Structure 1
Amino acid sequence: MTNLFFESGNLEATEAFLSAAYTPMQIGGRPADTRARISRTEAGGLSVDRLSFGYTMRYDAGCLGKVCLVTMHSGTIVDTTGGREEVFGPGETFLLAPHDRPYEGQVREARYTITMFDPRLLGRVAAVPGEKDVRITGARAVGPAENRRLGAAVAYLRDHVLDDGAGPADPDGLLVSTAAQHLAATVLRTLPNTARGDAATPRDRRDAHSDTLRRAVEFIEANAHRDITLTDIAASIPVSPRAVQYAFTRHAGTTPLAHLRRVRLGRAHAELRAADPAGATTVAGVAGRWGFAHQGRFAAAYRQEYGVSPSATLRSG
């Protein structure tokens, strides 16, 4: 995990930092208050930045090359790309710009969070046939509930995964990769995109038989310790991701990723049972190794599955 911090009242220095940290850009305006404060935490291709500007700043920037989500806390951002004027305010989480297009606008005395990840991750988690690229086609969530869900996913990543010291250790990167997949899946459920509404084909339905389920379960069991997605599970059989989803729904009454979480919960349970209560093993460390960042949610899921708390299991080892 890496951390970056910048604070300055010099506009030229701020412009140079923004160009190095994001994409080449020019900022306009010569305000009286030139305070700028930016911090970044980054791991496994994910980054969360906290930004605060005490003035109105015009920007004209090149392509970011990443999915860039902005969560507004105060002030406004005005997108003027292509001559339009779209205003975003507190409580909104939105796509700043397509990853492969330049953008321009204004930051107006704003405090906000930027979350960025590789756009190829959308294709990895989307249940679409083949290697089809997935693009986000609109900046705003499709509804108020979806905006809240997207904002909550960003907050979870910020406060429980990438906030330095907030989450458990993640030596193998499974925690960060699981959180990244969750965020990408939330983006696909909440923002307009080319994967929304894809229908299952007749072949998907034919392939959703019990042998597909068996082979998918075997792959999950053998690879639960790795960073795997629905696309990886489907490719191991091989069938389409839609067929895997239908097989789990039809024959197991669950989803592939829900089954993966349950397998990882079982591995965490086995590790806690085998640990020496007087040793160095901690619940947070075990949870993190199996992709669980939020301790409260991990404990609740654990208790529901095993009837005791994870700490009780560790003490009885």
Structure 2
Amino acid sequence: MEELSFDSTSAEATEEFLSTAYTPMRIGKSAADARTRISRRAAGPLNVDRLSFGYDMAYDAESLGRVCLLSIHAGTVVDRSGADGEQGETVFGPGETFLIAPPDAPYRGEVRSARYTIAMFDTALLDAMAPAGAEGAPVRLTGLRTVDEAANRQLGAAVAYVRDHVLDNPAAYGNELLLTTAAQHLAAATLAALPHTGRTDPVPADRTDATPATLRRAIAFVEANADREISLADIAAAAFVTPRALQYAFRRHLDTTPLGYLRRVRLDAAHRDLLAADPATATVTGIAMHWGFAHPGHFASLYRAAYGRSPGWTLRLRD
């Protein structure tokens, strides 16, 4: 776990810190007291920052090179780079979760007495979760705002999940499998919520690869490696098809996704561990985290839907 914190009233110190922690940038302030507070928690492929600016601060920044999502809790953030295809200013307010800028593009705007959360991850995760329609082409995010309000809520919930239940939880951020699963979850939520180049019609070649044989190879690989960090790309490589073809195969034959199936395999494994565990020494939370489930409430909900009872009841069950 990497942790850092910053607390200053100096605009010069803030500019230096932001340029080091994010990307080179220049800032301007409109207040005598430029109070800035920033804290970061980072582990594995994820980092989450909490930022608070008690004043209005303009910024002109170079590209981040990573996917950077903002969830605003108070105040506003203004984009002036035209990254969302709009002329002039695009204003984001409390309750909105959005992309601060395309990962490969410079950006500029203003923070207006705002408090917000930042979640960042590598762009490679987007390709692993949903490759673009053109073979070999990377997925590119094409807009800052989510496609609708429901998508905004889902993306905000994904950022909060990583912040509150993964990187704020020592038992979670010490588990590499759980960190990988959480990063994949955040990348998938990003692709589901934001406009991107992968939102295209399927290509015929991928449809022809979506066969039962593809599915059998993928299922065998998932079931043999569910306790390891595996991605959509790993499963596709084991099945000798493209990730997109793999997605079609699972949707066509099982009405789920490859990662949805992986989650079910891990849920079944957790179920077996709960049945075999000694309730005097084992806990539901410990077993859930071992299989990549960081949020106890979410795990309990999935478990109850699958088995018709709570995981705690299963742990206490004895013949």
Q: TM (normalized to structure 2)?
A: 0.92
Q: Could you tell me how far 1:101 is from its partner in structure 2?
A: 1.9
Q: 1:100 aligned to 2:112?
A: no
**2:239 aligned counterpart, secondary structure:** coil
The RMSD of aligned alpha carbons is: 1.9
Any idea what the Cα deviations from partners look like across 1:154-176, whole Å, max 9, x if unmatched?
Answer: 112112112245xx435441111
- Counterparts of 1:4 and 1:260, CA distance in 2: 34
Structure 2 residue aligned with 1:240:
242
After the TM superposition, which of the residue ranges 187-196 and 9-18 deviates more from structure 2?
9-18
After the TM superposition, which of the residue ranges 201-210 and 178-187 deviates more from structure 2?
201-210
Work out whether residues 11 and 29 of structure 2, in 8 Å CA contact, stay in contact via their aligned partners in 1: no
Matched AA of 1:31: A
Work out whether residues 45 and 117 of structure 1, in 8 Å CA contact, stay in contact via their aligned partners in 2: yes
Work out whether residues 288 and 299 of structure 2, in 8 Å CA contact, stay in contact via their aligned partners in 1: yes
Structure 1 residue aligned with 2:265:
263
Any idea what the Cα deviations from partners look like across 1:129-184, whole Å, max 9, x if unmatched?
Answer: 6432111111111122221221121112112112245xx43544111111111111
Q: Could you tell me how far 1:220 is from its partner in structure 2?
A: 0.5
Structure 2 residue aligned with 1:294:
295
Structure 2 residue aligned with 1:253:
255
Matched AA of 2:139: V
Q: Could you tell me how far 1:241 is from its partner in structure 2?
A: 2.2
Q: Could you tell me how far 1:305 is from its partner in structure 2?
A: 2.3
Q: Could you tell me how far 1:127 is from its partner in structure 2?
A: 4.3
Q: Could you tell me how far 1:217 is from its partner in structure 2?
A: 0.5
Structure 2 residue aligned with 1:192:
195
Work out whether residues 177 and 227 of structure 1, in 8 Å CA contact, stay in contact via their aligned partners in 2: yes
Work out whether residues 130 and 244 of structure 2, in 8 Å CA contact, stay in contact via their aligned partners in 1: no
**1:121 aligned counterpart, secondary structure:** helix
Work out whether residues 76 and 89 of structure 1, in 8 Å CA contact, stay in contact via their aligned partners in 2: yes
Q: Could you tell me how far 1:227 is from its partner in structure 2?
A: 2.0
- Counterparts of 1:186 and 1:59, CA distance in 2: 28
- Counterparts of 1:190 and 1:253, CA distance in 2: 21
Q: Could you tell me how far 1:208 is from its partner in structure 2?
A: 1.7
- Counterparts of 2:66 and 2:117, CA distance in 1: 15
- Counterparts of 2:102 and 2:23, CA distance in 1: 13
Q: Among residues 177, 201, 209, which one is paired with 1:174 in the alignment? A: 177
- Counterparts of 2:252 and 2:108, CA distance in 1: 48
- Counterparts of 2:193 and 2:172, CA distance in 1: 30
Work out whether residues 27 and 57 of structure 1, in 8 Å CA contact, stay in contact via their aligned partners in 2: yes
Counterparts of 1:302-313 in structure 2 under 5 Å?
302-313=303-314
Counterparts of 1:57-136 in structure 2 under 5 Å?
57-81=57-81, 84-128=88-132, 130-136=135-141
Structure 1 residue aligned with 2:231:
229
- Counterparts of 1:12 and 1:248, CA distance in 2: 53
Structure 1 residue aligned with 2:163:
158
Q: Could you tell me how far 1:118 is from its partner in structure 2?
A: 0.4
Structure 2 residue aligned with 1:142:
147
Structure 2 residue aligned with 1:273:
275
Work out whether residues 95 and 140 of structure 1, in 8 Å CA contact, stay in contact via their aligned partners in 2: yes
After the TM superposition, which of the residue ranges 19-28 and 267-276 deviates more from structure 2?
267-276
- Counterparts of 2:71 and 2:225, CA distance in 1: 34
How many residue pairs match? The answer is 313
Work out whether residues 131 and 138 of structure 2, in 8 Å CA contact, stay in contact via their aligned partners in 1: no
Q: 1:285 aligned to 2:276?
A: no
Matched AA of 2:188: A
After the TM superposition, which of the residue ranges 268-277 and 215-224 deviates more from structure 2?
268-277
Matched AA of 2:167: L
Matched AA of 2:194: L
Q: 1:37 aligned to 2:40?
A: no
**1:101 aligned counterpart, secondary structure:** coil
Structure 2 gaps, min length 5: none
Any idea what the Cα deviations from partners look like across 1:70-101, whole Å, max 9, x if unmatched?
Answer: 11111111122268322111111111111122
- Counterparts of 1:270 and 1:178, CA distance in 2: 20
Structure 1 residue aligned with 2:221:
219
**2:154 aligned counterpart, secondary structure:** helix
Q: Could you tell me how far 1:284 is from its partner in structure 2?
A: 1.2
Work out whether residues 127 and 230 of structure 1, in 8 Å CA contact, stay in contact via their aligned partners in 2: no
- Counterparts of 2:301 and 2:285, CA distance in 1: 14
